[in-house]
Chains A and B, each alone.
Chain A
Amino acid sequence: MMTLARFRVLVESYGADLRRWPREARDEAEQLRDASPEAQAFLAEARRLDEAIGAATAHQDALRWRAADQDDALARLRAGVAARMDELQPGSRRSGSAPAWLGSLFRLRHVGWITSGAFAVVAGLAIGAMYGSAPAPAGALATLLQPAALDFLAE
């Protein structure tokens, strides 16, 4: 036979709806409920809190979710997951013969970085060609760093 203390522990966890209770405890709980006014009082108090929690949850849901929103959200989820699978799965239709990372590399949001990087490489090569085409005379770098080399700034 279930004790009143155990009954109270279960009420305070699962609330007044015995269908939520652990299956193995339900029969004894029903017997105690039918026999004990104290058990009935615990259930009545818990039922009020259950109703308040249910109303508050419905209030939250009404703000966050509407029925149509749920259908839309599921459609977005399926599309989003499919797109991510395209990126991840080797040999998928979208990736084709190119590796998946290549596709993501050329996403629009990366174009700025790619352009900047390419420009930096080209500029580096050009400067390298200018200064690297002839052997630099000894001390050339030191000469450039002398104040006289910066005279044009004072003009």
Chain B
Amino acid sequence: MFRIKSPRAYGNVPDELLVKWSAGGDRSAFDEIVTRHGPFALRVAARLIADPRIAEEVVQEAMVRAWCQCSRFDERRARFTTWLYRIVVNLCIDHRRRIQPEPMPEEFDPADPAAGTLEMMEVMERDATLARELSRLPARQRAAMTLVYDEGLSGAEAAEVLGLSAKAVERLLARARAFLREALRSRGMTSSSEGA
């Protein structure tokens, strides 16, 4: 007698169960993980690695590593997202350290002829300067900024992802902000759009 195996529903399943299924060889479960967490991974990688094509490759490698290591995931030791994000961020940091310094894209030109006013040009120049300086930040500082400022992780969550203490993340953020503030100051710019 045939038994029809009902297909698993993945949409509302918690991450931790998807990982267990993935460890058992359920590829659809892992595809659900990639679908859920791929956007985060791609955004973070794109901010840490200048070339989007390489950022995608690094994320793909991170996901494949996660797939291979699913059976090692222990939910008593870490939340799944922390575990996965740590793989992604560490690979991005490793890549960035190998490649530093990364130039900004050539089309990164603040001079937009349509902008018109001098004030607009000054703001755009400031944004471009700061964007360049952001890409020059040391890898861990940039990673901390991305996780806390852009992705909304708490300092404690970012610390878990980076494998650091919360105090260490605070120091990374403070150094990054001081670096950016000084970069603007040294170019005669201020962080205020109306105060330049």
Contacts and interface: CB of A to CB of B under 8 A. Distances in A.
The yes or no verdict on A and B being binding partners is yes
Interface of A: 9-10, 12-15, 20-23, 45-46, 48-49, 51-57, 59-61, 63-65, 69-70, 73-74, 76-78, 80-82, 84-85, 88-89, 91-92
A13 B173 contact: yes
A41 to B, nearest CB: 13
B64 A81 contact: yes
Interface string B180-196: 11001000001111010
Most buried by A among B129, B154, B191: B191
Contacts of B129: 56
Given A12-B174, A60-B131, 12 more contacts: A15-B177, A48-B193, A53-B145, A56-B127, A56-B128, A56-B131, A60-B134, A77-B34, A77-B56, A81-B31, A81-B60, A84-B60
Given A57-B150, A59-B128, A85-B67, A78 B38 contact: yes
Most chain B CB neighbours (cut-off 10 Å) among A21, A51, A77: A77
Given A59-B131, A80-B60, A23 B154 contact: yes
B184 A52 contact: yes
A12 B177 contact: yes
Contacts of A49: 177, 180-181, 191
B31 A53 contact: no
Given A12-B177, A73-B42, A52 B127 contact: yes
A40 B31 CA distance: 47
A13 B174 contact: yes
B126 interface: yes
A116 B193 CA distance: 65
B100 to A, nearest CB: 17
B180 A53 contact: yes
A92 B152 CA distance: 38
A53 B130 contact: yes
Given A48-B195, A53-B149, A60-B134, A9 B170 contact: yes
A88 B35 contact: no
Interface of B: 25, 27, 30-31, 34-35, 38-39, 41-43, 46-47, 50, 52, 56, 59-60, 63-64, 67-68, 105, 107-108, 123-124, 126-131, 134-135, 145, 148-150, 152, 154-156, 166, 169-171, 173-174, 177-178, 180-181, 184, 190-193, 195
A85 B30 contact: yes
| Dominant secondary structure at the A interface | helix
B154 A77 contact: no
**Chain B binding site: helix, strand, loop or mixed by DSSP?**
helix
B192 A48 contact: yes
Contact of B31 (A59, A82, A92): A82
A80 B53 CA distance: 13
A64 B151 CA distance: 17
Contacts of B190: 48
Contacts of B64: 81, 84-85, 88
Contacts of A55: 123, 126-127, 130
A80 B134 CA distance: 29
B38 A74 contact: yes
Nearest to B134: A56
Contacts of A21: 155
Contacts of A59: 124, 127-128, 131
